[in-house]
């Protein structure tokens, strides 16, 4: 979910957000690009055009003109990584917790929250998990627990003004797994509450499907291919190096 290399999820935003009121997310500028190219956003500003051009998306953004007002002030792009193996281990535990705060007017990334999380049920990462995510044992050893990370997320949300009732923000995810399955499932297992702001999100896959008429079975890879976009960053990495 990084500006430089994890840029893969924020474009199905405005019209997608208006129509998919319940679910949205992302990685960052590629997401913006996805929405824009899919025609979900009805107009685009020269500012976004220049930014995307700087990442190699200039040609496909040529049709951008005026960027419409957004329903949300901020889009919070989120992409968990979790313990995993083949066959799957249970319970899975979040080991990387990244959030990008994207300004809904300027499309600038204004702030980043990123922490690794110490797994407690299966503290030793499997070779499969490390190969898939790029996260090695030393990155999670000695890191805060999920409860501590959630407390820091809340502090970050407050510091960024995202808990102000007058500020409209929403999480954006590539699929429902992060906030429908992973976070509530682990919180239930640990007896932790789930903050209300995690209970509404935009699923980028649904926005893409609405715009393009087909479901992206392989997530971002299919969406990028469907829109002739080059993937940026490492797949299955919450935030780029």
The answer to whether the beta carbons of residues 232 and 8 sit under 8 Å apart is yes
| 96 counts as catalytic | no
- So what's the pLDDT on residue 33? 52
What the chain holds in terms of domains, given with CATH numbers, is 74-227 (3.30.420.10)
Name the catalytic one among 14, 81, 96, 160.
81
Whose tokens are 């209970």? That residue is 199
Mean pLDDT throughout 50-59? 45
Identify whether 26 is preceded by a cis peptide bond (ω within 30 of 0). no
- So what's the pLDDT on residue 201? 95
> Bigger pLDDT: 232 or 163?
163
Mean pLDDT throughout 8-12? 45
- So what's the pLDDT on residue 235? 61
Q: Any alpha helices (H) in the chain, and if so which ranges?
A: 14-19, 29-38, 46-54, 127-133, 137-140, 146-159, 183-190, 204-212, 220-226
- So what's the pLDDT on residue 37? 46
Dihedrals phi, psi of 58, to nearest 5 degrees: -55, -50
Q: What is the pLDDT of residues 123-167, one digit of tens each?
A: 999 999 999 999 999 999 999 999 999 999 999 999 999 999 999
For 74-88, 107-121, 201-215, which range has the lowest pLDDT when averaged over its residues?
201-215
Dihedrals phi, psi of 109, to nearest 5 degrees: -80, 110
Q: Which two tokens stand for residue 153?
A: 């997320």
Dihedrals phi, psi of 173, to nearest 5 degrees: -135, 155
- So what's the pLDDT on residue 71? 85
pLDDT band at 75 (very low <50, low <70, confident <90, very high): very high
Most confident residue range from 2-6, 60-64, 99-103? 99-103
The answer to whether the beta carbons of residues 147 and 192 sit under 8 Å apart is yes
**How high is the mean pLDDT of the chain?**
77
- So what's the pLDDT on residue 223? 87
Name the catalytic one among 73, 114, 122, 236.
236
Q: What's the whole-model pTM score? A: 0.75
- So what's the pLDDT on residue 234? 61
Phi-psi sector, 213: left (phi>0), alpha (psi -120 to 50), beta:
left
> Bigger pLDDT: 137 or 226?
137
In a 13 Å sphere around the CA of 228, the CA atoms on its Cβ side amount to: 6
Q: Does the pLDDT value for residue 110 go beyond 50?
A: yes
Residues contacting residue 72 through CB under 8 Å, at least 6 positions apart: 13, 17, 104, 168, 169, 170
Torsion angle of C-alpha atoms 120, 27, 201, 184, degrees rounded to 10: -10
For the chain, give the percent of residues with pLDDT over 90: 55
| 236 counts as catalytic | yes
**What is the C-alpha separation between 88 and 16, in angstroms, rounded?**
33
Which residue(s) pair with 212 in the sheet? none
Cα dist from 112 to 14, 60, 117, 182, whole Å: 21, 27, 16, 21
């Amino acid at each position: 979910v990084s500006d430089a290399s994890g840029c893969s999820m924020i474009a199905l935003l405005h019209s997608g957000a208006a129509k998919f009121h319940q679910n949205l997310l992302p990685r960052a500028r590629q997401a913006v690009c996805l929405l824009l190219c899919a025609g979900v956003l009805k107009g685009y500003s020269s500012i976004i055009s220049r930014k995307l051009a700087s990442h190699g998306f200039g040609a496909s953004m040529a049709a951008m003109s005026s960027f419409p007002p957004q329903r949300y002030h901020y889009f919070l792009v989120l992409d968990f990584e979790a313990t995993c193996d083949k066959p799957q281990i249970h319970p899975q535990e979040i080991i990387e917790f990244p959030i990008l705060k994207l300004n809904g007017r300027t499309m600038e990334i204004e702030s980043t929250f990123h922490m690794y999380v110490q797994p407690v049920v299966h503290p030793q990462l499997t070779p499969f998990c490390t190969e898939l995510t790029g996260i090695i044992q030393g990155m999670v050893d000695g890191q805060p627990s999920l409860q501590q990370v959630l407390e820091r997320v809340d502090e970050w949300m407050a510091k960024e003004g995202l808990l102000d009732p007058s500020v409209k923000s929403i999480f954006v995810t590539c699929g429902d797994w992060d906030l429908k399955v992973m976070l509530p499932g682990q919180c239930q297992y640990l007896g932790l509450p789930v903050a209300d702001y995690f209970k509404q999100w935009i699923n980028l896959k649904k926005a893409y499907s609405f715009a393009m008429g087909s479901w992206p079975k392989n997530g971002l890879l299919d969406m990028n291919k469907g829109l002739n976009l080059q993937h940026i960053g490492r797949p299955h990495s919450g935030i780029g190096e």
